[in-house]
Structure 1
Amino acid sequence: MNSRAASSGWASRAHAACDWLFWVMTVNLLWYVFTLAGGILLGAAPATVAAAELTRRRLRGEGFPAIRTFAQAWSREFWRANAVLAPVLIVGTILAVNAIGFAGAGTLAEASGILTLVALTLAFALLAVLVPLYVHYDLPLRAYVLTASRWILRNLAHVLLLVLAAVVVVTASLILPGIIPFLSLGAWLTIDTALCLAFFAANDRQLAETETETGAVAVPVAAG
């Protein structure tokens, strides 16, 4: 009986792992397709939001047709997502290009190179928090970047975990470059969404407990 139960448990975990691997590949492919559909510049932000939104729904156990639902989310959030995310994406891309240029010239360890790396890390952290925040909470468009920035300053340990997760994905991609077109971006979007949603949930619980202890009444932020 125990052996049969153990075998069933391993089979279940293997099936779940394969299921998530397929999901990562699906997100990866759809992100590229819909980013290209928007001409790259305008397509990246809504594709990123759609990937995070569908991953959020999947983490909740919802079932849906991936391609059609992704297309609907991409279309619905096209202008809103670009208004919130596009500036950060553009700045991050410029900083990444400059960092690569410094690295190629061998000047990354100089003051200008170090400042570029710091700015790139900050832009990356902001984007990593901003995307899940956008799909999880209903806020005025102008409030998302400021709210994400405040969250980062108050949760540096969580931000460090996000950066470490990104380092793991990048390192794996450098070791196995064959996975880059098929897994890397989808893996990061999935991991980033899952981690941030867990962070947000823990933060909401802590706030609720604090309000209960102090008797304060706070206006809740509506989850999307």
Structure 2
Amino acid sequence: MRDSEGGSWALRAQSLCDWVLFTALINLFWLIFTVAGLVVLGAAPATVAAVTVTRRRLRGDVVHVWREFPAVWTAEFVRGNLVLGPPMAVAGLLAASTAAFSRMGAAGSLGTVVCAIGGGFAFLLSGVLAPLYAHYELPLWRYLVTASRWLLGNLVHALLLVVAAAVVAIATFLLPGLLPFFTVGVWLVVSTALCIGFFHLNERRLDERRAAEAATAAAH
């Protein structure tokens, strides 16, 4: 029994170390390929690549980040910017506006609140949109609409994403050394895992509803 428990703990420790290394690699490659696209054009496809690779890892596939990340980034450069670029740009602009209004003191308090709320929503929308894009095949124009409807229609799930983002932000504030090595990677891995779990749960609920409706129709 003790050997079994010891082996179980060893496997868990190894799995944890693997995920830590994976997260650090996602963070590193996201930074490299964001800069490779001159930031403005690099961040969106880098996010798509990070989420796609993470989804494969969560699915149990063997993932080679150094090979698959560049391949996805290249393949999704145009589409990734079309789908994810606008909300990420809005989130960045509103974050900058929030900082500018906050420096104005009381005179800019209303602008600070409005921009912070709008920027937070755009940030969360990007966090949902990237896994949605990696998980589902939809017409390009439908991704933003579907992600917005999902975010507004699943407030509990949205709150969990807010909590995850807050934990990452607080941890980075308390340990600034995490920023260049883990912060972005942790957020991308955690938000992807949460969203994929949410999507699977929603799919099961829809299947159960369809089965119940089919059973009801057959009974009549």
Q: TM-score, normalised by structure 1?
A: 0.93
Q: Partners of 1:52 and 1:136 in 2: how far apart?
A: 9
Q: Partners of 1:91 and 1:13 in 2: how far apart?
A: 40
Q: Which of structure 1's runs of 4+ aligned residues deviate more than 4 A? A: none
| Structure 2: gaps spanning 5 or more residues | 216-220
Matches within 5 A, 1:116-155: 116-155=115-154
For residues 92-129 of structure 1, what are the alpha-carbon distances to aligned partners after superposition, in whole Å with 9 as ceiling and x for unaligned?
10001111223333349822211111111111121111
Instruction: Report what 2:27 is aligned to.
Output: 28
**Contact preservation (8 Å) 1:169, 1:188:** yes
Matches within 5 A, 1:37-56: 37-56=36-55
Alpha-carbon distance change, 62 to 75 in structure 1, aligned in 2, over 3 angstroms? same
Q: Partners of 2:35 and 2:81 in 1: how far apart?
A: 15
Instruction: Report what 2:5 is aligned to.
Output: 6
Task: Name the SS of the counterpart of 1:142 in structure 2.
Answer: helix
Q: TM-score, normalised by structure 2?
A: 0.94
**Contact preservation (8 Å) 2:165, 2:187:** yes
| Structure 1: gaps spanning 5 or more residues | 217-224
Q: Partners of 1:108 and 1:154 in 2: how far apart?
A: 34
CA displacement at 1:132 relative to structure 2: 0.3
Matches within 5 A, 1:152-171: 152-171=151-170
Q: Partners of 1:7 and 1:176 in 2: how far apart?
A: 32
Instruction: Report what 1:80 is aligned to.
Output: 79
Matches within 5 A, 1:81-120: 81-107=80-106, 110-120=109-119
Q: Partners of 1:79 and 1:179 in 2: how far apart?
A: 31
Q: How many residues align?
A: 215
Alpha-carbon distance change, 81 to 108 in structure 1, aligned in 2, over 3 angstroms? farther
**Contact preservation (8 Å) 1:28, 1:184:** yes
Q: Partners of 2:164 and 2:198 in 1: how far apart?
A: 14
CA displacement at 1:143 relative to structure 2: 0.3
Aligned CA-pair RMSD = 1.4
For residues 19-45 of structure 1, what are the alpha-carbon distances to aligned partners after superposition, in whole Å with 9 as ceiling and x for unaligned?
000000000000011111111111111
For residues 180-212 of structure 1, what are the alpha-carbon distances to aligned partners after superposition, in whole Å with 9 as ceiling and x for unaligned?
000000000000000000000000000000001
Identical amino acids, percent of aligned pairs: 45
